[in-house]
């Protein structure tokens, strides 16, 4: 099963996207619909609301008077939290029931307006944001929903900003054009990304880099992509992850690199990553099971040898990611951070490493051969990096 979060600001057309995904076969879990269901007439949720806020929030037909309730909780933090204490557990329970009932091979789309506001992006294997400029959303709310402009802008102002949504998005779906254009984008998302992603997660497969070596110019999106992936790992592993960091060449601003995001997870013991329950939590956010692997031992006085680790990746065909699990009481995680920060902080080191990349790239190597051919340089680089660390007072 693939767990996808879908969101967008009011007037963005998010419901149109979820409806199109449902046509393709996605199981859509509509947060707004569930929120209405748990306070329908006759439900314990509505009874508790009436008891807490009084009969004025109940309409003549026995349903919830949402406008009246909104007037009560608007601007009153204590009242809002009291309402959330009533509704949120019921919404969560119903959501979990619907997800549990989905087929094992389902793409489950959680249509949730407040995904960003509730800091939920790390809960999903993929976060999709329907992106529409604010002025276009204002126009739609005025012309299509009958709001006056001031009311429309006020509704938009209390939601997350466009910048906040874009930072949370693995996929931005532009929707300032025609309905046909939006449908074409949703169709491509479904067939090119969601369907293969679901199959990869279900079968425990990671997306592998191409063996055709390609080093690309620095991409300013790498840091944000790494941050979203790291948040998923941290959310899935909880306290078992001592720290999660972006490492490797894509973590060095301005350095050309293979288009692969490398992440490092530091754990108290590698056995933590062998737990089937951990594998299930990682799969929920789009990662394959960790597998035994090793690093080249590096550093002054280190004989030829290997440091054990766990290695895994993501199932998203739109982003190759490698995850290195290293033990907290071992040296490997510190060396990885040292090399990253040395390359960030020492211009001569960056020039040397780039010259090596260019030399190997011109040799026509495969990606695997390229990685292996860099090892002698790294063996010589670690003592230089240690000298830099001593000189600058660096600590991880």
Region class of 299: left (phi > 0), else alpha (psi between -120 and 50), else beta: left
Determine if residue 12 is labeled as part of a ligand binding site: yes
Return d(Cα 34, Cα 114) in angstroms, integer. 14
Interval 245-299: pLDDT, tens: 999 999 999 999 999 999 999 999 999 999 999 999 999 999 999 999 999 988 6
Prediction pTM value: 0.91
With contact defined as beta carbons under 8 Å apart, do 255 and 235 qualify?
Answer: no
Q: How far apart are CA 190 and CA 186, in angstroms?
A: 6
Average confidence score pLDDT of the chain: 94
Q: Which long-range contacts (CB under 8 A, 24 or more apart) does 294-298 make?
A: 295/324, 295/326, 295/332, 296/375, 296/378, 296/379, 298/335, 298/378, 298/379, 298/382
Dist CA 349 CA 381 (whole Å): 8
Kind of pairing between the strands at 107-111 and 261-267: unpaired
Q: 2-202 maps to which CATH number?
A: 3.40.50.300
254: closest CA among 217, 309, 304?
217
Q: How far apart are CA 37 and CA 17, in angstroms?
A: 22
Residue 13 in marked binding region: yes
Cβ burial of 276 (10 Å; 0-12, 13-18, 19+) is exposed
**Burial class of residue 390 in the structure, from the number of CB atoms within 10 Å of its CB (0-12 exposed, 13-18 middle, 19+ buried):** exposed
pLDDT at 303 over 70: no
Each domain of the chain, given as residue ranges in start order, spans: 2-202, 222-392
3.30.460.10, 1.10.3720.10, 3.40.50.150, 3.90.1150.10: CATH of 222-392: 3.30.460.10
Model confidence over 307-348: pLDDT tens digits? 999 999 999 999 999 999 999 999 999 999 999 999 999 999
């Amino acid at each position: 099963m693939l767990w996808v979060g879908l969101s967008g600001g009011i007037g963005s057309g998010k419901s149109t996207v979820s409806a199109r995904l449902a046509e393709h076969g996605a199981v859509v879990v509509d947060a707004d619909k569930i929120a209405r269901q748990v306070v329908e007439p006759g439900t314990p949720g509505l009874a508790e609301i009436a008891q807490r806020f009084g009969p004025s929030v109940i309409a003549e037909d026995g349903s919830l008077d949402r406008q009246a309730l909104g007037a009560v909780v608007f601007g009153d933090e204590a009242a809002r939290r009291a309402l959330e204490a009533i509704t949120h557990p019921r919404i969560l329970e119903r959501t979990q029931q619907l997800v549990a009932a989905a087929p094992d091979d389902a793409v489950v789309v959680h249509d949730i307006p407040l995904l960003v506001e509730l800091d939920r992006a790390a809960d999903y294997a993929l976060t999709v944001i329907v992106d529409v400029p604010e002025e276009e959303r204002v126009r739609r709310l005025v012309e299509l929903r009958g709001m006056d402009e001031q009311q429309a802008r006020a509704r938009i102002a209390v939601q997350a900003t466009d910048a906040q949504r874009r930072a949370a998005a693995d996929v931005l779906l532009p929707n300032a054009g025609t309905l046909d254009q939006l449908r074409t984008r949703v169709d491509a998302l479904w067939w090119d990304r969601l369907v293969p992603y679901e199959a990869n997660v279900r079968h425990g497969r990671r997306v592998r880099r191409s063996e055709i070596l390609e080093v690309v110019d620095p991409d300013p999106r790498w840091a944000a992509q790494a941050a979203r992936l790291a948040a998923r790992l941290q959310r899935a592993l909880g306290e078992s992850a001592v720290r999660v960091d972006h490492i490797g060449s894509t973590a060095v601003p301005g350095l050309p690199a293979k288009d692969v995001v490398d992440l490092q997870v530091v754990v108290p013991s590698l056995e933590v990553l062998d737990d089937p329950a951990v594998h299930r939590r990682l799969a929920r956010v789009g990662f394959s099971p960790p597998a035994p692997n090793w690093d080249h031992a590096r550093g002054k006085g280190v004989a030829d040898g290997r440091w054990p680790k766990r290695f895994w990746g993501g199932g998203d065909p739109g982003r190759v990611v490698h995850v290195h699990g290293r033990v907290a009481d071992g040296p490997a995680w510190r060396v990885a951070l040292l090399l990253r920060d040395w390359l960030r902080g020492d211009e001569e080191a960056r020039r040397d490493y780039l010259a090596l990349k260019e030399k190997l790239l011109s040799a026509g190597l495969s990606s695997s051969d390229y990685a292996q051919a860099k090892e002698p340089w790294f063996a010589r680089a670690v003592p230089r990096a240690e000298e830099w660390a001593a000189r600058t007072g660096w600590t991880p």
